[in-house]
Amino acid sequence: MRLDQLAARPHNYDDVGRTQTGDVPAGYHQLTVRRRLGTGRAVFDRAVDALLHWQVQRVFGMDLSASSERVAVGAESLGRIGFGPLALQVPCRVVWVSEEPDRAGYAYGTLAGHPEAGEEAFVLTLEGEAVMFTISAFTRPATWYARLGGPVTRLAQRGIANRYTARLKRLSA
């Protein structure tokens, strides 16, 4: 699979954009991780810049290619997790972007070929002086091996979300 092939791939789920409303569709597992990154406008601005330039995923160590330098609705990303022939390819497309004075973020949805089906949102808010980062997702297995992983897959998803948060905290300090 190549990045330039993703435009022709459909989402592999029907509820595109639902992370924006917070309404989790029936039949999906829900994940929410919310952490304080720091304090003040400067921390918020650095976090927004890193988030909207795919740095959360890149710093995490994922091999990520994206169709745009900056996150934008319709931009595709192709991540690879792992090494060699056992690496998982994770194709996604950005489904919404929000940029407001005290709130910024985006969500991407999985495309055909992704081991999971669903959506993941990354949202930064400036609440008073507190900079908060929330990752929310709804997912279900889309492949036999994701189904086989069951609770372990969900544990891995939570672990990855926690690592995303720790990385963004370091990038915004």
Q: What is the mean pLDDT of the chain?
A: 92
Tokens for 131? 């900079």
pLDDT computed for residue 87 by the predictor? 79
Contacts of 127 by beta carbon, 8 Å cutoff, 6+ apart: 102
pLDDT computed for residue 31 by the predictor? 93
DSSP secondary structure letters along the chain: --GGGGGGPPBSSS-TTGGGTT-PPTT-EEEEEEEEEEESHHHHHHHHHHHTTTHHHHHHT-EEEESSSS--TT-EEEEEESSGGGPEEEEEEEEEEEEETTEEEEEEEEBTT-SEEEEEEEEEEEETTEEEEEEEEEEEE-SHHHHHHHHHHHHHHHHHHHHHHHHHHHHH-
Q: Is the pLDDT of residue 85 over 80?
A: no
Region 136-147 average pLDDT: 92
Q: Is the pLDDT of residue 86 over 80?
A: no
Do the beta carbons of residue 56 and residue 164 sit within 8 Å? yes
Q: 100-121: per-residue pLDDT in tens?
A: 999 999 999 999 999 999 999 9
Chain centroid to CA 127? 22
pLDDT computed for residue 97 by the predictor? 98
Q: 8-19: per-residue pLDDT in tens?
A: 999 999 999 999
Better pLDDT: 63 or 122:
122
Q: 22-55: per-residue pLDDT in tens?
A: 888 999 999 999 999 999 999 999 999 999 999 9
Query: SS3 string of 21-33?
Result: CCCCCCCCEEEEE
Tokens for 29? 């597992």
Instruction: Note the pTM of the prediction, 2 decimals.
Output: 0.93
Instruction: Tell which residue, 22, 41, 61, has the closest CA to residue 160.
Output: 61
Query: Which residue segments constitute the domains of the chain, with CATH numbers given?
Result: 28-172 (3.30.530.20)
pLDDT computed for residue 59 by the predictor? 63
